[in-house]
């Protein structure tokens, strides 16, 4: 449990520090930090693999405003986050890029508050690389790919709620590739 507490304390300190450093947006300037998301996920749900590890994950994520140079690939927002397992199983920290589309607005000129996020990046995990004991997964590498998908609704201009699915694996680039998929709900808070 001490590993989980260290992960949680480190993540909370980082998010608090980053939120405190975010500039107050001027009329023509946007904030460095665009959004913070917090969620609870079922750990290792068995989608895209077999369910082995138990517990719940606390998910913390910070999304930054998209820099101008990323406009050539659809203006994704850089992200950084963590999945902290409450049962002492695999936790991870990740970073990457998140693309957002508003499918109902784009396809049907419908409700712009419905959004779909997809992300691609890398994760560092604290689980087993080789020779995992029963009840744990052999992930093959400490550094893995991180993919996620999220379907959400913007309740207010500041608050959103969403269903989230996140996956870490090495995409068969190493001998072992058990992978872990977690699913749950998140709240988002825009700056």
Q: How far does CA 153 lie from the centroid of its chain?
A: 17
Q: How far apart are CA 90 and CA 168, in angstroms?
A: 11
Residue pLDDT, tens place only, 147-189: 999 999 999 999 999 999 999 999 989 988 889 999 999 999 9
Q: Where are the beta strands (DSSP E) in 30-175?
A: 33-42, 56-64, 77-85, 92-101, 114-125, 143-154, 159-169
Domain 2-21+33-190 has CATH 3.40.50.720: no
* CA dihedral for 29, 119, 63, 187, sign (positive or negative): positive
Q: Look at strands 56-64 and 92-101 and give their pairing.
A: unpaired
Section 48-55 average pLDDT: 86
- pTM of full prediction above 0.75: yes
At 16, the pLDDT band (50, 70, 90 cuts) reads very low
Cβ count within 10 A of residue 105: 14
The confidence score (pLDDT) of residue 27 equals: 39
What percentage of the chain carries pLDDT values higher than 90? 71
Residue spans of the domains in the chain: they are 2-21+33-190
Section 113-120 average pLDDT: 96
């Amino acid at each position: 449990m001490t590993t989980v507490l260290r992960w949680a304390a480190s993540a909370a300190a980082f998010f608090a520090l980053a939120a405190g450093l975010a500039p107050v947006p001027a009329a023509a300037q946007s904030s460095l930090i665009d959004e913070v998301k917090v969620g609870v996920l079922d750990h290792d749900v068995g989608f895209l693999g077999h369910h082995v590890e138990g517990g719940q994950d606390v998910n913390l994520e910070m999304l930054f405003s998209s820099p101008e140079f990323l406009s050539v690939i659809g203006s994704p927002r850089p992200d950084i986050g963590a999945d902290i397992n409450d049962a002492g199983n695999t936790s991870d920290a990740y970073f990457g890029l998140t693309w957002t589309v508003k499918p109902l607005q784009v396809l049907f000129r419908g409700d712009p508050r419905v959004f779909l996020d997809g992300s691609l990046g890398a994760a560092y995990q604290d689980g087993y690389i080789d020779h995992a004991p029963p009840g744990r997964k052999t992930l093959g590498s400490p550094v893995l790919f991180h993919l996620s998908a999220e379907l959400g609704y913007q309740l207010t201009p500041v608050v959103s709620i969403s269903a989230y699915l996140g996956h870490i694996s090495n995409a068969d680039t190493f001998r072992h590739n058990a992978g872990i998929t977690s699913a749950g709900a998140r709240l988002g808070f825009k700056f």
